[in-house]
Amino acid sequence: MLDRILAKRIVPVVVLDSANDAEPLAEALLAGGLDIMEITFRTAAAAESIERIAKAFPEILLGAGTLLETDQVVRAKEAGAVFGLAPGLNPEIVAKAKEIDLQFSPGIMTPSDVEQALSLGCQLLKFFPAGAAGGPEMLKALAGPYAHTGVKFVPTGGISSKNLADYLALPVVAAIGGSWMVDKKLVADGNWSEITRLTKEALAAAAAVGA
Ligand code: 3PG
Protein backbone atom coordinates (compact mmCIF):
# COMPACT_ATOMS: atom_id res chain seq x y z
CA MET A 1 0.00 0.00 0.00
CA LEU A 2 2.72 2.45 1.03
CA ASP A 3 4.52 1.49 -2.16
CA ARG A 4 1.56 2.57 -4.26
CA ILE A 5 1.22 5.87 -2.40
CA LEU A 6 4.96 6.36 -2.82
CA ALA A 7 4.81 5.64 -6.52
CA LYS A 8 2.78 8.72 -7.52
CA ARG A 9 3.41 10.71 -4.34
CA ILE A 10 0.21 12.75 -4.67
CA VAL A 11 -3.09 12.13 -2.90
CA PRO A 12 -6.00 14.24 -4.17
CA VAL A 13 -8.27 15.27 -1.30
CA VAL A 14 -11.84 15.15 -2.58
CA VAL A 15 -15.04 16.66 -1.18
CA LEU A 16 -18.10 15.50 -3.11
CA ASP A 17 -21.55 16.98 -2.59
CA SER A 18 -23.09 14.53 -5.01
CA ALA A 19 -22.17 10.88 -5.54
CA ASN A 20 -23.13 11.40 -9.20
CA ASP A 21 -19.81 13.23 -9.60
CA ALA A 22 -17.80 10.28 -8.25
CA GLU A 23 -17.26 8.33 -11.48
CA PRO A 24 -16.53 11.30 -13.79
CA LEU A 25 -14.08 12.67 -11.22
CA ALA A 26 -12.32 9.31 -10.91
CA GLU A 27 -12.16 9.13 -14.70
CA ALA A 28 -10.66 12.64 -14.91
CA LEU A 29 -7.96 11.75 -12.38
CA LEU A 30 -7.17 8.48 -14.15
CA ALA A 31 -6.92 10.37 -17.46
CA GLY A 32 -4.36 12.61 -15.76
CA GLY A 33 -2.39 9.56 -14.60
CA LEU A 34 -3.44 9.38 -10.96
CA ASP A 35 -4.90 6.16 -9.54
CA ILE A 36 -5.31 7.20 -5.92
CA MET A 37 -8.01 9.27 -4.19
CA GLU A 38 -9.02 10.36 -0.72
CA ILE A 39 -12.78 10.92 -0.42
CA THR A 40 -13.53 12.93 2.69
CA PHE A 41 -16.39 12.19 5.07
CA ARG A 42 -17.32 15.88 5.13
CA THR A 43 -20.45 15.32 3.09
CA ALA A 44 -23.29 12.84 3.14
CA ALA A 45 -22.18 11.64 -0.31
CA ALA A 46 -18.86 10.20 0.92
CA ALA A 47 -19.74 6.55 1.50
CA GLU A 48 -21.78 6.22 -1.70
CA SER A 49 -19.03 7.96 -3.69
CA ILE A 50 -16.46 5.48 -2.37
CA GLU A 51 -18.77 2.58 -3.16
CA ARG A 52 -19.36 3.74 -6.72
CA ILE A 53 -15.68 4.35 -7.46
CA ALA A 54 -14.63 1.03 -5.89
CA LYS A 55 -17.11 -0.73 -8.16
CA ALA A 56 -16.38 1.14 -11.38
CA PHE A 57 -12.62 1.62 -10.98
CA PRO A 58 -11.09 -1.20 -8.93
CA GLU A 59 -7.65 -0.06 -10.11
CA ILE A 60 -7.94 3.08 -7.94
CA LEU A 61 -6.36 2.98 -4.48
CA LEU A 62 -9.24 4.44 -2.49
CA GLY A 63 -8.93 6.23 0.81
CA ALA A 64 -11.47 7.79 3.13
CA GLY A 65 -10.57 11.10 4.76
CA THR A 66 -11.81 13.19 7.65
CA LEU A 67 -12.73 10.08 9.66
CA LEU A 68 -13.91 11.66 12.90
CA GLU A 69 -16.28 8.97 14.22
CA THR A 70 -15.78 5.25 14.62
CA ASP A 71 -18.87 4.43 12.57
CA GLN A 72 -17.37 6.40 9.66
CA VAL A 73 -14.32 4.12 9.82
CA VAL A 74 -16.59 1.10 9.48
CA ARG A 75 -18.70 2.66 6.71
CA ALA A 76 -15.55 3.67 4.81
CA LYS A 77 -14.19 0.13 4.87
CA GLU A 78 -17.56 -1.40 3.96
CA ALA A 79 -17.85 1.01 1.03
CA GLY A 80 -14.49 -0.12 -0.32
CA ALA A 81 -11.85 2.22 1.09
CA VAL A 82 -8.49 0.54 1.70
CA PHE A 83 -6.94 3.31 3.75
CA GLY A 84 -8.18 6.08 5.99
CA LEU A 85 -6.99 9.44 7.26
CA ALA A 86 -8.03 12.18 9.63
CA PRO A 87 -6.85 15.72 10.30
CA GLY A 88 -6.02 14.80 13.90
CA LEU A 89 -5.12 11.88 16.13
CA ASN A 90 -8.03 10.28 17.93
CA PRO A 91 -6.98 7.03 19.68
CA GLU A 92 -10.53 5.67 19.34
CA ILE A 93 -10.38 6.07 15.57
CA VAL A 94 -6.92 4.46 15.45
CA ALA A 95 -8.21 1.52 17.51
CA LYS A 96 -11.31 1.02 15.34
CA ALA A 97 -9.25 1.11 12.15
CA LYS A 98 -6.88 -1.47 13.63
CA GLU A 99 -9.77 -3.66 14.76
CA ILE A 100 -11.28 -3.81 11.27
CA ASP A 101 -7.90 -3.90 9.52
CA LEU A 102 -8.09 -0.55 7.71
CA GLN A 103 -4.71 1.10 7.22
CA PHE A 104 -5.02 4.46 8.96
CA SER A 105 -2.97 7.66 8.98
CA PRO A 106 -3.83 10.08 11.78
CA GLY A 107 -3.05 13.78 11.46
CA ILE A 108 -0.21 15.20 13.54
CA MET A 109 1.34 18.64 14.03
CA THR A 110 3.58 18.42 17.11
CA PRO A 111 6.32 16.12 18.50
CA SER A 112 3.88 14.86 21.13
CA ASP A 113 1.42 13.94 18.38
CA VAL A 114 4.15 12.03 16.51
CA GLU A 115 5.10 10.10 19.65
CA GLN A 116 1.51 9.24 20.44
CA ALA A 117 0.97 8.06 16.87
CA LEU A 118 4.09 5.90 17.00
CA SER A 119 3.04 4.38 20.33
CA LEU A 120 -0.32 3.50 18.75
CA GLY A 121 1.48 1.72 15.91
CA CYS A 122 0.96 4.33 13.16
CA GLN A 123 3.88 4.73 10.77
CA LEU A 124 2.42 6.90 8.00
CA LEU A 125 1.18 10.21 9.39
CA LYS A 126 -0.67 13.11 7.85
CA PHE A 127 1.09 16.41 8.65
CA PHE A 128 -1.76 18.90 8.85
CA PRO A 129 -2.21 21.80 8.23
CA ALA A 130 1.18 21.70 6.53
CA GLY A 131 1.46 25.23 5.15
CA ALA A 132 0.03 27.06 8.14
CA ALA A 133 2.10 24.93 10.54
CA GLY A 134 5.34 26.13 8.96
CA GLY A 135 5.69 24.25 5.69
CA PRO A 136 8.61 22.04 4.67
CA GLU A 137 10.98 23.73 7.12
CA MET A 138 8.71 22.90 10.03
CA LEU A 139 8.22 19.31 8.87
CA LYS A 140 11.96 18.80 8.43
CA ALA A 141 12.61 20.02 11.98
CA LEU A 142 9.66 18.10 13.43
CA ALA A 143 10.64 14.82 11.75
CA GLY A 144 14.36 15.05 12.57
CA PRO A 145 14.33 13.17 15.90
CA TYR A 146 12.08 10.42 14.49
CA ALA A 147 13.74 9.59 11.16
CA HIS A 148 15.32 6.43 12.65
CA THR A 149 11.86 5.05 13.52
CA GLY A 150 10.97 4.79 9.84
CA VAL A 151 7.96 7.09 10.24
CA LYS A 152 6.82 8.80 7.03
CA PHE A 153 4.58 11.80 6.46
CA VAL A 154 1.90 12.97 4.07
CA PRO A 155 1.84 16.77 4.42
CA THR A 156 -1.52 18.27 3.49
CA GLY A 157 -2.99 21.75 3.68
CA GLY A 158 -1.91 24.67 1.52
CA ILE A 159 -0.05 22.54 -1.04
CA SER A 160 -0.23 22.94 -4.82
CA SER A 161 1.91 22.28 -7.89
CA LYS A 162 3.86 25.44 -7.03
CA ASN A 163 5.26 24.16 -3.73
CA LEU A 164 4.82 20.38 -3.72
CA ALA A 165 8.45 19.82 -4.77
CA ASP A 166 9.69 21.50 -1.58
CA TYR A 167 7.86 18.86 0.46
CA LEU A 168 8.63 15.88 -1.76
CA ALA A 169 12.35 16.69 -1.61
CA LEU A 170 12.32 15.72 2.09
CA PRO A 171 13.22 12.03 2.64
CA VAL A 172 10.55 11.70 5.36
CA VAL A 173 7.77 12.69 2.97
CA ALA A 174 6.00 9.70 1.40
CA ALA A 175 3.49 11.79 -0.54
CA ILE A 176 1.65 15.09 -0.40
CA GLY A 177 -2.09 15.61 -0.22
CA GLY A 178 -4.12 18.43 -1.63
CA SER A 179 -7.46 19.55 -2.94
CA TRP A 180 -6.38 22.06 -5.57
CA MET A 181 -6.62 19.73 -8.57
CA VAL A 182 -10.06 18.51 -7.48
CA ASP A 183 -11.35 21.89 -6.32
CA LYS A 184 -15.07 21.93 -5.42
CA LYS A 185 -15.83 24.53 -8.07
CA LEU A 186 -14.19 22.47 -10.81
CA VAL A 187 -16.28 19.48 -9.73
CA ALA A 188 -19.49 21.55 -9.47
CA ASP A 189 -18.86 22.93 -12.98
CA GLY A 190 -18.10 19.45 -14.32
CA ASN A 191 -14.78 20.84 -15.54
CA TRP A 192 -13.22 17.38 -15.86
CA SER A 193 -10.69 18.42 -18.50
CA GLU A 194 -9.22 21.04 -16.16
CA ILE A 195 -8.99 18.43 -13.39
CA THR A 196 -7.11 16.16 -15.79
CA ARG A 197 -4.82 19.02 -16.80
CA LEU A 198 -4.06 19.99 -13.17
CA THR A 199 -3.43 16.33 -12.34
CA LYS A 200 -0.91 15.98 -15.17
CA GLU A 201 0.76 19.23 -14.11
CA ALA A 202 1.02 17.99 -10.49
CA LEU A 203 2.45 14.62 -11.52
CA ALA A 204 5.02 16.32 -13.75
CA ALA A 205 6.06 18.57 -10.86
CA ALA A 206 6.37 15.53 -8.58
CA ALA A 207 8.32 13.54 -11.16
CA ALA A 208 10.79 16.39 -11.53
CA VAL A 209 11.80 16.06 -7.86
CA GLY A 210 15.17 14.35 -7.65
CA ALA A 211 15.26 13.89 -11.44
C1 3PG B 1 -7.36 18.16 3.98
O2 3PG B 1 -8.35 17.81 4.55
O3 3PG B 1 -6.41 17.40 3.83
C4 3PG B 1 -7.29 19.58 3.52
O5 3PG B 1 -8.53 20.18 3.53
C6 3PG B 1 -6.67 19.74 2.20
O7 3PG B 1 -6.02 20.96 2.25
P8 3PG B 1 -6.00 21.90 0.97
O9 3PG B 1 -7.43 22.17 0.63
O10 3PG B 1 -5.26 23.14 1.43
O11 3PG B 1 -5.27 21.17 -0.12
Average of pLDDT values for 26-36? 97
Complex ipTM value: 0.91
In 3D, which of 97, 99, 92, 88 has the Cα closest to residue 126? Answer: 88
Give the model's pLDDT for residue 68: 98
Residue 211 has pLDDT above 70, yes or no: no
| pTM for the model | 0.95
The pLDDT confidence band at residue 51, using thresholds 50, 70 and 90, is very high
69 is a catalytic site residue: no
Distance from Cα 49 to the centre of ligand 1, integer Å: 18
State yes or no: pLDDT of 2 exceeds 70: no
Nearest CA to ligand 1 atom 11: 178
Average pLDDT across the chain, whole number: 95
Q: Which is the closest atom of ligand 1 to the Cα of 160?
A: 11
Q: How far is CA 197 from CA 26, 30, 190, 194, 204, in A?
A: 14, 11, 14, 5, 11
- 21-57: burial string, b at 16+ Cβ within 10 Å, e else: bbeebbbbbbebebbbbbbbbebebbbbbbbbbbeeb
**What pairs with residue 84 in β-bridges?**
64, 104
Integer Cα distance of 210 and 188 in angstroms: 35
State yes or no: is 126 an active-site residue.
Answer: yes
Domains located in the chain, CATH noted: 2-207 (3.20.20.70)
Note the pLDDT tens digit of each residue in 88-124: 999 999 999 999 999 999 999 999 999 999 999 999 9
12 CA to centre of ligand 1 in angstroms:
9
Does 179 sit in the ligand 1 pocket, CB within 6 Å?
A: yes
What is the percent of the chain where pLDDT is above 70? 97
Given the residues 8, 77, 96, 126, the one annotated as active site: 126
